[in-house]
Each structure stands twice: as C-alpha cells, then as structure tokens.
Amino acid sequence: MKTPMLFIMISCSMLSTFAQSNDSLNSNYVNVYLDGVSNYEAYIKTEIPYVNYVRDRFAADVHLMVISQTTGSGGRDYTLYFLGQNEFAGKNDTLHYFDNTNNTDEERRIGIVLYMKLGIMAYVAKKPGAIPVTITSNIAASSSDKQEDDKWNGWVYSISAYANVNLNSNYESYNISSNLSANKVTEEWKLGLNLGAYYNAETFDFGDGDTYESFNNGSYASTTIVNSLNDHWSIGGEANYNSSTFSNYDANINISPAIEYDIFPYSSSTTKLLTFFYKIGPEFSNYTDTTIFDKTDELLLRQRLDISLVLKQKWGSVSLGLNGSNYFHDLTKNSAGCFTSIEWSIFEGLTLNGFFTVDLVNDQLNLPKGELSDEEILLQLTERQTDYNFYTFFGLTYTFGSIYNNVVNPRFEGGNYSFYF
C-alpha cells in the first residue's frame, strides 16, 4: 500500500505546483465554446488565437456548433452554427463549408477553420479593443463553386477490396471482402447501387492431431431510388438480395415500394428530423437447409414501419427510433424494436452519454432444422433462435476546475492525431 500512496502524493504535489500556471486569457477576447470539433481543437486554437476557448457552454459568448452531412459526391457539407450568448444573445449566424471527397485532411481542416474565422469576426469586432486580424486562404474553390461540365453526370463510384490473414502455430484465419457502389444525388432524385461479397475461413489445431475448419461466406446487392416530392414527402423503393451461410440463405430477395414523411422540413435536417418511413413488398427466400418450418423456399408479403427522431441542439443531441415489421401470411411472425442515444450537457460540467437498443424477435423463418454442433454455437457460424436482442451503455462525466483551455501543448502525445469528425 505504501508505494501506491506515495505515488499518489507525489502526483498530487506536482499537479498542485503546475496548476498555478497562467491560462493566457484576455478579458477583451470573445469566449468561444467548440462543439462537434473535438479532433480539431488543437489546430483551431493554434490558428485562431484571438479568442478565449472555454470548456463549458454556459460560460461562452459564442457557442460554435459544427454538424456535417454526406453530400451527393461523397464529400461532406459542414454546417457551422454561431450561436450568440450573454451580450451577443440573439446574434446568430450559419455558414456552410463543402468538403470535396478528394480533399486531404490538411485541406479539410484549413477550409473549416477559414469559415470559422469568417463567422467569428462578427463577434470579435464588437469587443472593445478588438485586435486587427487578417484572414487569408490558400484553398481552391469547392466543387459547389465550380460550374463545369461533369463527364460523370453526377454519378459517384467506389470500388474496394480487403484481405486479412492471421496465422500462428495453432490457428489460421483468412478474411476476404469486396464492394462496389454507385450513387447519384440531386435535389430531386437519390439513386444508389451497392454490391459486395465476403469469405471467412478459420482452422483450429487442438494440439492432439485433430483440427477443425469453419467457413462463413455470402454476397449481397441492394438498390434504392428516392424522389423528393416536396419539403416533407419522399417516395421511392428498395430492392435487396442476400446470400449467407450464417443466415441459411442461398438467396433472399425482396422488392419494396416505400414512402417517407418528415414532420419538419428536410431543409432543417442538420438540426432536427422526425420521419415516418413505410415500405411493403414481396420477399422470396431459397434456403440452404430445410427450415424449422419444413420449408426449402417460399414467397411471402412483408411490411415495415420506422419512426425516427433526431435532434442536434446546443444542449447536446438525442436520437429516438421505433420500428416494427410483420409477414402477412401469419401476423404472429413479427418483430419490433426501439433505440435511444443521447448526449446531454445537463448543467455546468456534467454530461450524460448513453445508448440503448432492444429488439423483440419472432420472425426467424430462416432457421435451419436440426441441432447445431458445439463448434457452430461457440464460433457463431449459424444464426440461432432468440426472443430478443438487447444492448446498452451509458455514463456520466463531470468536469470541474478552470473553464478556460486556451493552451495547446502536444508533448508526450507521440503524433497520435486524427483529423476526422
């Protein structure tokens, strides 16, 4: 016990000594709270040193919230919300930075910081004794600023292939996967195609001359078409194909017309969505092995309803979802589920984070007939019967001390930087 206690005492003494350091504050600077840019904070503080950065949103003059969405080209639309507080209450602004899918991390962060500078200037200039600031940019205009002929006609393609090999004297593992996607997004239409396949193999050597080999493979394809009727309604359809040794499918095919209604206009999707999504259509299944219902293939009609709420505000974010589906030939063959995720700044320094999901399952028509081996169960090679799926995590974080955090010091971090949101 003496050694740990001595270490704690020495550590506390060191922290107490260095806690007296100056926070490099200026009373004429605007207090800014950064929200949604945690992986960029060091770079932002270095490039925009003429504001005070606070770690509590209630102490900020400007709450700078950044929310991103994927664009039709595969890039990102970063929406920067400048929310005035205290003396700037009611003085809000919104800017958009469009990040090209081919941009490097350096180009991306330069572009985001440039738009941050442009937005913050409106508040910095109002402070007494404001310092002169020059804003320059060496980034090229984004794709949204260029009106050029597009030889791809708006289509974006992606091809990927991955392989993984893990070997030792008692175990071998091989994993191969590939994927092809094509997407086109306009204000009126959204079109998508996705194809892929995977193969997994493992070999276990028990050390007594016996070995066990397992295989898990499959392929999939999906296509989606959506038409924007107006700012609240969308209509379209989905078609899906799936082959999976795990799920006992030689082929599973469904075609589903679909419709969606958003209570809020889609134009406000960066901060709030409340959608009702419904689809209905035929589903054909050709099973690898005879199922527990003595079926080798069948054609059924299925429907599904999803309700989703997403809110992203200055106090945090919350997502709620409900879903349910059933087969028409037997209404007892159904499933239902819900999920919740939350990030809530309750009050100064206290934050709640959590995720919860539960699904009630009563529609596993694909389960193979017969008993599973111990190896199949332990390695999860075949889908098993279950009444529910449940998962959750949650936590509380309380931070106290100085509300200011202007200083950037990257020592002992070993270059472990990430520039993705």
Residue 216 carries which side chain, given as an amino acid letter?
A: N
Q: What percent of the chain has pLDDT over 90?
A: 45
**pLDDT tens-digit readout, 9-46:** 555 555 444 444 444 567 778 999 888 887 778 788 88
> Has residue 339 been placed in a domain?
no
Say yes or no to pLDDT of 54 above 50. yes
Interval 322-350 mean pLDDT: 92
283's tokens:
């589903």
Mean pLDDT of 238-267: 95
Exposure pattern of 316-353 as b/e (b: 16+ CB <10 Å)?
Answer: bbbbebebebbbeeeeebbbbbebbbbeebeeeeeeee
86 and 167 assigned to the same domain: no
Interatomic CA distance for residues 336 and 305, integer angstroms:
10
pLDDT (0 to 100) of residue 379: 81
- Give the rounded percent of residues in the chain with a pLDDT score beyond 70: 84
> Which of 194, 214, 234 is at the close of a domain?
214
Q: Is 111 among the domain residues?
A: yes
30, 175, 391 from 375: Cα distances, Å: 63, 19, 25
Domain count of the fold of the chain: 2
Residues 47, 63 within the same domain: yes
> Which range, of 101-105, 247-251, 311-315, averages the lowest pLDDT?
101-105
- The residues, any chain, with a CB within 8 Å of residue 360's CB and separated by 6 or more, are 335, 336, 337, 387, 388
Q: Are 275 and 286 in contact (CB under 8 A)?
A: no
Q: What is the pTM of this model?
A: 0.72
pLDDT value, residue 5: 60
Nearest to 133 by CA among 39, 29, 216, 230: 29
64 and 167, same domain (yes or no)? no
Q: Kindly tell me the sign of the dihedral angle through the C-alpha atoms of 220, 225, 231, 232.
A: negative
> Do residues 120 and 37 both lie within one domain?
yes
Do 77 and 169 lie in a common domain?
no
Measured over the CA atoms of residue 368, residue 369, residue 375 and residue 380, the dihedral's sign is positive
Residue 335 has pLDDT above 60, yes or no: yes
Residue 322 lies in a domain: no
Please write the tens of the pLDDT for every residue from 208-238: 888 899 999 999 999 999 999 999 999 999 9
Measured between alpha carbons, how far is 340 from 394 in angstroms, rounded to an integer? 11
Mark whether 132 and 157 lie in a shared domain: no
pLDDT at 144: 45
pLDDT tens for 351-405 read: 899 999 999 999 999 999 988 888 888 888 889 999 999 999 999 988 777 767 6
| CATH assignment at residue 71 | 3.40.50
Residue 300, pLDDT > 80, answer: yes
Answer whether residue 95 is part of any domain: yes
- pLDDT bin (cut points 50, 70, 90) of residue 141 is very low
203 occurs within a structural domain: yes
CB–CB of 349/398 below 8 Å?
yes
Sequence-ordered list of residues with C-beta below 8 angstroms from that of 140, at least 6 positions apart, any chain: none
- Domain end, chosen from 192, 214, 236, is at 214
The residue from 158, 185, 214 where one domain ends is 214
Q: Do residue 157 and residue 130 come from a single domain?
A: no
Residue 74 counted as domain residue: yes
Statement: residue 417 has pLDDT above 60 = no
SS (HEC) of 319-340: EEEEEEEEECCCCCCEEEEEEE
Which residue segment(s) compose the domain that 109 sits in? Answer: 25-144
Query: Is the domain of 139 the same as that of 155?
Result: no
pLDDT per position as a tens digit, 75-96: 788 888 999 998 898 899 989 8
CA–CA separation, 110 and 419 (whole Å): 11
Tokens coding 127 = 């402070």
Q: Which residues of 245-281 are buried (b: 16+ CB within 10 A; e: fewer)?
A: bebbbeebbbebebbbebebebeebbbebebebebeb
Determine the Cα–Cα distance for residues 178 and 162; give it in Å rounded to an integer.
6
Same domain (yes/no): 183, 138: no
Same-domain pairing of 90 and 182: no
Same domain, 35 and 129: yes
In a domain, 63, yes or no: yes
Per-residue model confidence (pLDDT) at position 275: 95
Q: Are residues 166 and 91 in the same domain?
A: no
In a domain, 118, yes or no: yes
> pLDDT at position 363, please?
95
Q: How many CA atoms lie within 13 A of 11 on its CB side?
A: 6
